[in-house]
Structure 1
């Protein structure tokens, strides 16, 4: 089966499936989590103080809801019809929050909206070619706007697009691509597209031997700030 974006909606439709009967209950929304370890990471402060924000790959919408409740106008985008429908079931009517079912690059290429922040926490940025995505994000960010993302740290020496079976090792073949870039690779890419204040690093896990979190943040020109920082995980 060819590796195409058409595999993705089906994969995400079955992500975090509801178990049991009846309508699933909405999860608690009491934090904004960037990492895979609850309570570990920078929270909403990593985005600065945006008035408007776009989340790429919002899934069940918890972080989008949390951000909207602080007064930010949030557009929560997801490629999966099932994930979008579930998020709307739980959170439709939340002031300042809207849900969009679309592919990230298609939406960014077609929308006329601009944002103070575009972010992805273990979301669409991980599963989209950064060479295609980053310039589209840059066009939709306001001057001084923030791009922020988090995902699993890459394995040293294994970079670029990597294939996996979305269904694991049993069931129908459902190939999915995700992109693993080092902090240095992210910094070079963002600098090429005129981002400033670049901070790309791996946040170590609470337990040193566990998988860390790649954290990347940068700004579009138009606001003062440091020019470039690149950090690696401490040995």
Structure 2
């Protein structure tokens, strides 16, 4: 199953260009929780200070992780896709403080010998892993007072629980299928609290006022007791 999902995300990687050289503010690295360019909150959501150890679950091509490294964090990224990690190494080869691993998120969390001051997932592994497994695994690896935050598409009304996502693989092949988990904000908040997170928030960030894309972004955040 892991090989099938890895191949699916390798295919996805081929369809995505590298991150822009600069954003609208002229910054060469930046943090973006949403699917909309230059929109929404940034790394401040994680309450992480320079020197903090942070973990990106499903780091993809590494844009957010590179930004955390430039802020002085010990930035660790894990992704299932060798192609995505290859793009991260190529794009951010001049950024120090980044550590990349190819692994399933749950396996990495189970095997990690260290705790993290912040864990995050931006349309990443936390979106595509059963929260009944992911949330306790993340909680166990957070340092006291540490923050976990994740973002993804809001659920379609009435379409809750495990859903199918389809990744195109070209005109001659059926799409790859991966699972994702969708719930309304109040359900996510309840699940976070049920697995020991405190100060939980779950909100849908609206889409920018301009532009044709109108789907917002669900952002969930919680902290381990200090």
Q: What TM-score do the two structures reach when normalised by structure 2? A: 0.88
* Alpha-carbon distance, 1:30 to partner: 3.1
Q: Is 1:17 aligned with 2:45? A: no
CA contact (8 A) 1:55 1:64 kept: yes
Segments of structure 1 that go 5 or more residues without pairing to the other structure are 223-235
Instruction: Give the RMSD, CA atoms, in angstroms.
Output: 2.1
* Alpha-carbon distance, 1:86 to partner: 2.2
Separation in structure 2 between the aligned mates of residue 89 and residue 131 of structure 1, nearest angstrom: 35
Q: What TM-score do the two structures reach when normalised by structure 1? A: 0.85
CA contact (8 A) 1:27 1:62 kept: no
SS of the counterpart of 1:120? Answer: strand
- Report the counterpart of residue 36 of structure 2 in structure 1: 37
Separation in structure 1 between the aligned mates of residue 141 and residue 110 of structure 2, nearest angstrom: 9
CA contact (8 A) 2:122 2:151 kept: yes
- Report the counterpart of residue 216 of structure 1 in structure 2: 220
* Alpha-carbon distance, 1:120 to partner: 0.4
* Alpha-carbon distance, 1:182 to partner: 1.3
Q: Taking structure 1 as reference, are residues 44 and 26 closer, same or farther at Cα in structure 2, changes over 3 Å only?
A: closer
Separation in structure 2 between the aligned mates of residue 25 and residue 111 of structure 1, nearest angstrom: 29
SS of the counterpart of 1:85? Answer: helix
Separation in structure 2 between the aligned mates of residue 161 and residue 220 of structure 1, nearest angstrom: 26
Q: Taking structure 1 as reference, are residues 169 and 162 closer, same or farther at Cα in structure 2, changes over 3 Å only?
A: farther
CA contact (8 A) 2:12 2:167 kept: no
Segments of structure 2 that go 5 or more residues without pairing to the other structure are 22-27
CA contact (8 A) 1:76 1:98 kept: yes
Q: Is 1:180 aligned with 2:179? A: no
CA contact (8 A) 1:144 1:220 kept: yes
SS of the counterpart of 1:189? Answer: helix
CA contact (8 A) 1:163 1:176 kept: yes
Would you say how many aligned residue pairs link Structure 1 and Structure 2?
215
CA contact (8 A) 2:57 2:78 kept: yes
